[in-house]
């Protein structure tokens, strides 16, 4: 249960509270069988101060104004982790015949402009693929930046972090992914957290079927390429023989299942589901199977064998061909082998969007650097967000880059990137940090001064503290800590304290785009007074 003081909200007017149950946190909210194997209906009575709007993941709600009491009822059985509550300064607007958006008053116009009419389009596309939407309403509530994840598929009421509103394409993908969970995860649930891919892999597959129907195959392939790049990046970090890369991962006693949430759950799971669809020869045949699967198992929890047995029963010709035992692609190997997916989807339909990214990346990373003129003629403002983040991610993978390259990159693109959304800007700033490019360092400070969410602060602090800029990171944290949720402050404190001796405070407010590296180093060496130690920084929860 996350309690926020008014200053941690956008409006700074009223306190705010929300719950986040996934995966085993609701045991601290109410007594429950906190396992996805158990489902039940629920009712709740909530009393709140006047002027505070209360919402829950329920199919029915009433408000007794004279008593300031809200009553909620979820008429369909759900696992404990899908019970959710939010309360605060929230107002709403209808954005479709069965959807409304809730947000703080200052955010509502933006939310309406981004989503009006869109949710119904996505719901209709999903229904055409997987059958009726069974939850009645599909509402969305935008939460303050303290929300610890991007989005949560609470039935009837999707929770989404407000920070994502400025990144249109990420917003689209995130909402469609949560829409897909209405069928895969909420209606049919993984019975054990060791098989989380049954929810996330299937929801990711369904999400991409919906985006293909509504935005075309090229866009879907671009987004998939971006995510698979991230999967292989995570694999390099973890190692190909890491047990968490299995789809059927072993959950040791005392381990929080949320620690097993990783890109393998989503993307390796997606690749297995995509492989099953390829065995059918036509994705529409696989859609028919998934409709039957939902109808058979809705409101229950399943294991992988339930899915695979249903698949082979639905396609007896595939059972006769023994597809489950095909050499190198055995179902058992898909589930229990570590490492990358055994097969990946053909993304050639996205080449019109991915080829320009690959071309530009080669121009910047092929020595000698004599193609700057051609590279600088590319206008990134004309690109889709996923093209730009794919390009920047690949530059990040190659960092540190030669100084001449990072200097030319900044000259060509820095001003363009300044006006783009946070998903793009954070990647450019990570490149700046990993390459110790001091002329753009002031932009890192400006970004962190205006960000309060985990997803836009932690990556930069980790990069700053890995390199030579820990004192710079500490200075920013010391000045911005009061705008961060205590949980986030504690996490950043832990990052800053790794191998840290008391560092001198430096006046980085004086740093500009023209501050050379030597000046910064001189400031650090000369600052002998006013040293900041983490024990002096208020980061207590």
Identify the active-site residue in 76, 266, 293, 413: 266
Tell me the C-alpha distance between 140 and 107, whole Å. 13
DSSP bridge partners of 46:
70
The verdict on whether 413 is a catalytic residue reads no
| Element housing 62 (H / E) | strand 60-64
Query: What is the end-to-end Cα distance of the chain in Å, rounded?
Result: 13
Q: Find the catalytic residue in 153, 178, 195, 344.
A: 178
Question: In Å, how far are 108, 377, 393, 399 from 409, measured between CA atoms?
Answer: 37, 12, 14, 13
For residue 187, the SS3 value is coil
Phi, psi of 87 (to 5 degrees): -150, 140
DSSP state of 156: T
Are 263 and 224 within 8 A, CB to CB?
A: no
**d(Cα 186, Cα 180) in Å, to the nearest integer?**
9
Torsion of CA 49, 487, 110, 421, to 10 degrees: 170
Pairing assessment for the beta strands 53-56 and 2-4 based on DSSP bridges: unpaired
Nearest one of 223, 263, 267 to 423, comparing CA atoms: 223
Tally DSSP H helices, then E strands, for the chain.
Answer: 21, 14
Backbone Cα Rg of the chain: 24
403 is in an annotated binding site: no
Residue 178 is among the residues annotated as catalytic for this protein:
yes
Sign of the dihedral through C-alpha 413, 414, 418, 424: positive
The answer on whether 181 is annotated among ligand-binding residues is: yes
Report the distance separating Cα 104 and Cα 9, nearest Å.
8
Torsion of CA 336, 341, 345, 350, to 10 degrees: 140
Q: Is 22 annotated as a binding residue?
A: no
What are residue 93's DSSP bridge partners? 101
Rounded CA gap, 8 and 484, in Å? 7
- What are the catalytic residues? 178, 266
Binding residues: 177, 181, 200
Binding residues for Zn(2+): 177, 181, 200
């Amino acid at each position: 249960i996350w309690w926020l003081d008014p200053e941690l909200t956008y409006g700074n007017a009223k306190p705010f509270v929300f719950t986040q149950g996934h995966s085993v946190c609701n045991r601290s909210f109410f007594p429950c069988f906190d396992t996805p194997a158990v489902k039940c209906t629920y009712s709740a009575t909530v009393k709140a101060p006047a002027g505070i709007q209360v919402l829950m993941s329920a199919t029915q709600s009433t408000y007794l104004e004279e008593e300031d009491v809200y009553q909620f009822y979820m008429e369909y059985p759900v696992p404990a982790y899908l019970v959710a509550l939010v309360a605060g300064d929230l107002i709403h607007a209808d954005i479709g015949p069965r959807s409304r958006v809730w947000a703080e008053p200052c955010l509502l116009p933006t939310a309406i402009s981004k989503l009006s009419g869109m949710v119904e389009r996505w719901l209709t596309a999903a229904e055409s693929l997987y059958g009726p939407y069974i939850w009645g309403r599909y509402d969305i509530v935008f939460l303050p930046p303290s929300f610890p994840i991007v989005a949560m598929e609470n039935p009837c009421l999707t929770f989404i972090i407000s920070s994502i509103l400025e990144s249109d394409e990420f917003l689209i993908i995130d909402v469609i992914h949560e829409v897909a969970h209405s069928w895969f995860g909420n209606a049919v649930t993984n019975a054990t957290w060791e098989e989380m891919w049954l929810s996330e892999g299937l929801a990711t597959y369904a999400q991409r079927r919906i985006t293909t129907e509504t935005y075309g195959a090229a866009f879907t392939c671009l987004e998939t390429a971006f995510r698979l790049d991230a999967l292989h990046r995570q694999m390099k970090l973890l190692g190909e023989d890491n047990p968490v890369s299995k789809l059927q991962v072993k959950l040791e006693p005392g381990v929080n299942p949320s620690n097993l949430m990783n890109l393998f759950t989503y993307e390796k799971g997606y690749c297995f589901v995509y492989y099953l669809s390829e065995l059918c020869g036509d994705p529409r045949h696989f859609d028919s199977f998934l409709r039957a699967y939902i109808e058979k198992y809705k409101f229950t929890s399943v294991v992988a064998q339930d899915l695979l047995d249903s698949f082979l029963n639905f396609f007896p010709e595939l059972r006769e061909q023994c597809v489950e035992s095909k050499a190198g692609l055995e179902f058992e190997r898909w589930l229990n082998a570590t490492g990358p997916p055994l097969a990946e989807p053909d993304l050639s339909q996205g080449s019109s969007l991915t080829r320009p990214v690959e071309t530009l990346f080669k121009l910047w990373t092929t020595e000698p650097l004599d193609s700057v003129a051609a590279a600088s003629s590319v206008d990134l403002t004309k690109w889709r967000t996923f093209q730009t983040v794919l390009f920047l991610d690949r530059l990040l993978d190659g960092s540190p880059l030669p100084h001449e390259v990072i200097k030319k990159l900044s000259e060509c693109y820095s001003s363009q990137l300044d006006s783009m959304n946070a998903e793009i800007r954070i990647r450019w700033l990570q490149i700046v940090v990993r390459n110790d490019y001091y002329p753009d360092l002031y932009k890192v400070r400006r970004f962190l001064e205006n960000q309060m969410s985990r997803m836009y602060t932690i990556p930069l602090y980790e990069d700053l503290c890995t390199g030579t800029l820990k004192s710079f990171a500490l200075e920013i944290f010391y000045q911005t800590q009061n705008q961060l949720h205590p949980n986030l402050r504690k996490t950043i404190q832990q990052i800053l304290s790794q191998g840290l001796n008391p560092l001198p405070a430096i006046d980085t407010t004086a740093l500009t785009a023209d501050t050379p590296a030597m000046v910064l180093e001189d400031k650090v060496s000369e600052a002998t007074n006013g040293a900041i130690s983490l024990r002096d920084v208020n980061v207590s929860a």
